Structure 1
Amino acid sequence: MSARHSDAPQRVVAAAAEMLATYGLNASSVREVAKRAQAPFGSTYHHFPGGKQQVLAEATTLAGAKVDSVLATCLQAGGAEGLSLFLAMWRERLIRSDFHAGCPVLAAAVEEPIDAAPDDAQRAAAAVFACWEARLSEALCTDARTHGQAHALATMIIASVEGAVAMCRAMRDIGPFDRVALQLESLVADR
């Protein structure tokens, strides 16, 4: 078996994450994901017996883990500086993609699948958001901020960034993101 075939499942999941970020959950077909991954379509169901929902759930988890890794790295600089670094990464992603790529986790969270009853991708998105909240909350919990305050702030940061990303994509303008980032940085720096 060639190396090209052995990494097909990983390529499929990565391609699905990219499609989620750009086109959303319902527009991400297994056939198109396999094509973009340069993986044999027939073997896709062998590796993913749960079909599209399994592929998209794994893609959501993969995308969430990648963002979590970036977030963890950014937060090594401290809460306020780490948040600034993380926001800069998102800003760059929006601009670099000309506002076409958003957050695959948000796409999985907000779209109801039209072609399947189980919603594995939505459950995966919920788990990712909880992971990000925990990571941010831990970094924001300081002497001046209780765990409850840090958790609430972490929730607001995630919701604000996700909303700003969606607004920027719709408006094809970085302005909403910059305004939200400025407010979030101010809130985190206040403590």
Structure 2
Amino acid sequence: MRRRPTDAPQRVISTAADMLATYGLNATSIREVTKRAEAPFGSTYHHFPGGKQQVLAEATALAGSRIDAMLDEVLREGVVSGVSRFLALWRERLLKSDFHVGCPVLAAAVEEPIDGGADDAREAAGVAFTAWERRLAEAFIGEGHAPVQAQALATMLIASVEGAVAISRATRDIAAFDRVVERLEGLLR
């Protein structure tokens, strides 16, 4: 089935988000993104005049909004159940990819562009982290936590999960992730 050219920009952004999760910011090239997205390379700079930095910023924003939507969905079950489900989804993602896929937002946050380009992807990562924090804090407040405590719990949860994902990818072992999950779930009960 041939893809319509009109959806090529969205395929490029989605593919770039997937590549960020696996290869990181600097290893994600426009040429490889367009090839994997089955998009015409020649029109890439027409759709993305900001080049690679624009594509990566939009990919980071897309990944951030996907995770935010996932949090929104799981938190409807309540904080404890929702966070447990969210953590289980991350665990499954790590295992299913044999620890090759991480968080594209984290990749954009921690890597400096090798070409000295703009910080658009990092800024998009900051926006995503802030949105996730806000969503989690609101859920904690909704279950009776004071706003300051809710904010602290949200920050700790995000930082713990991101760190556990990174450690598990580096060690190719789920043990660190499982230890973090156990502590987080105990804390939330």
TM range (shorter): over 0.9
What is the correspondence of 1:94-133 to structure 2 with a 5 Å cutoff? 94-133=94-133
Stretches of structure 1 lacking an aligned partner (at least 5 in a row): none
TM-score (normalizing by structure 1): 0.96
Instruction: Report the alpha carbon displacement of residue 39 of structure 1 after superposing the two structures with TM.
Output: 0.5
* Counterpart in the other structure of 1:47: 47
- Once the two structures are superposed, the pairs formed by residues 2-21 of structure 1 within 5 Å of their partners are 4-21=4-21
Shift of residue 4, structure 1, vs aligned partner: 1.8
Report the secondary structure of 1:7's partner residue.
helix
Runs of 5+ unmatched residues, structure 2? none
User: 2:45, 2:129 → 1: CA distance?
Assistant: 28
Does structure 2 conserve the Cα–Cα contact (< 8 Å) formed by 1:60 and 1:105?
A: yes
Matched residue of 2:4: which SS? helix
Read off the aligned partner of 1:147 and give its amino acid letter: P
Asked if 1:26 is matched to 2:9, the reply is: no
Q: Distance in 2 between matches of 1:28 and 1:4?
A: 24
1:78 aligns with 2:78: yes
* Structure-2 change in CA distance of 1:143 and 1:4 (3 Å): closer
Q: Is the 8 A contact 2:19 2:28 kept in 1?
A: yes
1:187 aligns with 2:187: yes
The answer (yes or no) to whether the contact 1:164–1:177 under 8 Å persists in 2 is: yes
Cross-structure match for 1:61: 61
Query: Which one-letter code corresponds to 1:112 in the other structure?
Result: E
**Percent identity over paired residues:** 65
Contact between 1:53 and 1:116, CA under 8 Å: does it hold in 2?
no
CA contact (8 A) 2:79 2:143 kept: no
Tell me the amino acid that sits aligned with residue 96 of structure 2. R
> Match of 2:100, as an amino acid?
H
State the TM-score, normalizing by the size of structure 2: 0.97
Q: CA deviation at 1:128?
A: 0.1
Distance across 2 between alignment mates of 1:9 and 1:94: 28
| 8 Å Cα contact 1:20/1:28 also seen in 2 | yes
Moved over 3 A (4+): none
Shift of 1:54: 0.3
1:9 is paired with a residue whose SS is helix
In the aligned structure 1, how far is the partner of 2:14 from the partner of 2:94?
A: 19
Per-residue deviation at 1:3? 5.3
Which of 180-189 and 17-26 deviates more?
180-189
